[in-house]
Structure 1
């Protein structure tokens, strides 16, 4: 029998209506939404179930909303006796993994990610930075585009999502130049993303420094379940690594492809994506295919998909 990993989505996965059927069907999910509302002074049910979209899209709202939705679904799974051998999350999703592993409490995490969202949004004024997704080029080719585009300003690799899908981030002119070069190199797709800030690049270093002050006030525990970090794509070895890892994560590349590769090498062959959307499932599928590994990928984002996972009868 192989191992199970729980994986959690990051910003961009949100949509109006997420988590609604869980709250309507499971008291534990309802209580998580109520707890979040109390902690961050937002009506989390109203925000997630009714929007409006532009309110949910604000980074300081999006981050606690996705964390709350993912944890509500996780608690329902745990109540059914389902657990994992390791866990990881994409960017914001790493906080969900850390709550899962009892590194810090949900109460602390939901307040923290609201501040994280605010710091990230405020660090770079609107109209300065952007991000772009590039499909169909390898890391060396992207790096070549980045190095050439640096004459126009700051541009860096933000997310290594899966083979042939990399997101870049930085100042608008430099990102646009890199996109143009990527297209000339034969990228299948090279598009500017509709984001409000240039996440995961050095422009956000100051946001990480502000976040560090908040992190230092938290009670942090050693992980109970192995957590794979975004920054190093390695297993979090102790609580002493938590703060440096999360501070760097704001302004460094997210090594998602490397994180999934590590989990595959550690014997994980069942992945359950918990939270809104299915983006991680498609990344994992591509990564496993490249490594010629056979995996089962499930996602839990509504009651129907949750019931399907229960029928599989996965055991830790």
Structure 2
């Protein structure tokens, strides 16, 4: 049997209409979506299928929607006999990875990330925080620039995605000033991101304290396979360690490049993006161009992957 790794997308990959083909094709997906609607007390499914887009994009809706879409597809693959050797997710996607690894129940995870989204929205006043993607500078150079910044306008590394693509996060004024300094330091471009807050920065610490309480009330189990954590870029299976890392994750950088570098060093045949979109598959190719990748978000892409996975097995 082929040896694969799963990666799960994070916020920003949401799109109206996502998951509808799966819902109409697989009874187990419909069952899971309906259970999520009941647990949340509103129709997340209708929001996913019909929008409006501005409502789906709200953090408290986008997070459970993306997780639900990802874990539903992972469930379909599991029932087809697919078992990953390791898994990881980008920010929110780490929760999908934990569901696929047996550490979190799917519906518990939907409720948890709905709460997480609310906490992130409430942690810092809307419009006063910002994020920006820095293209063409390495991590060390960006850190040197940020170290010179006024600490009254904090800016931190938020996502270390792939060579030449790093996201910064902090106060709006801080990110604006840092963007100017980074361009002077040689960045090819610094692109503001359309987000509602300074995620993965120290400004999220108030949200992390509340999230810790929600995690205490959620059943976390030891993972059945290695989950590579955003905070440490290391494999983890222990439930206590997972709890601690999820709390830290809100205000720590996502070390996704390091995770992918470890994946490509493993003896695996492919890295499979499970859920909506192809953003993470693109990052894999930036880390190692020849790595075989799949992006599975609908019945057609699932069928194509399964054909490959089962051939000669």
- TM-score normalised by the shorter chain: which range applies? over 0.9
Residue correspondence of structure 1 range 118-137 to structure 2 within 5 A: 118-137=118-137
**2:79 corresponds to:** 79
Residue correspondence of structure 1 range 1-316 to structure 2 within 5 A: 3-150=3-150, 153-289=153-289, 294-314=290-310
CA distance in 2, matches of 1:273, 1:40: 26
Cα distance change on mapping 1:145 and 1:134 into 2, 3 Å: same
CA distance in 2, matches of 1:42, 1:137: 44
SS at match of 1:208: helix
Cα distance change on mapping 1:88 and 1:305 into 2, 3 Å: same
Deviation of the 1:91 alpha carbon: 0.4
Structure 1: state its 5+ residue gaps: none
The answer on whether the counterparts of 2:2 and 2:309 sit within 8 Å (CA) in structure 1 is no
CA distance in 2, matches of 1:269, 1:288: 13
Deviations 1:201-234 (A, max 9, x none): 0000010110101111222211101100000000
SS at match of 1:149: coil
CA distance in 2, matches of 1:314, 1:279: 25
Name whichever of 227-236 and 187-196 sits farther off: 187-196
CA distance in 1, matches of 2:100, 2:191: 34
SS at match of 2:218: coil
The answer on whether the counterparts of 1:32 and 1:71 sit within 8 Å (CA) in structure 2 is no
CA distance in 2, matches of 1:66, 1:267: 29
Q: Normalising to structure 1: TM-score of the pair?
A: 0.95
Deviations 1:22-41 (A, max 9, x none): 00111111111111101111
Name whichever of 115-124 and 254-263 sits farther off: 254-263
The answer on whether the counterparts of 2:16 and 2:51 sit within 8 Å (CA) in structure 1 is yes
CA distance in 1, matches of 2:269, 2:147: 37
Deviations 1:152-190 (A, max 9, x none): 610000000001000000011111111112222222220
CA distance in 1, matches of 2:307, 2:41: 37
Name whichever of 230-239 and 266-275 sits farther off: 266-275
Structure 2: state its 5+ residue gaps: none
Over aligned residue pairs, what C-alpha RMSD do you find? 1.5
Deviations 1:3-39 (A, max 9, x none): 3101100000000010110001111111111111011
CA distance in 2, matches of 1:129, 1:252: 16
Deviations 1:207-266 (A, max 9, x none): 011010111122221110110000000011411101110000001000000111122223
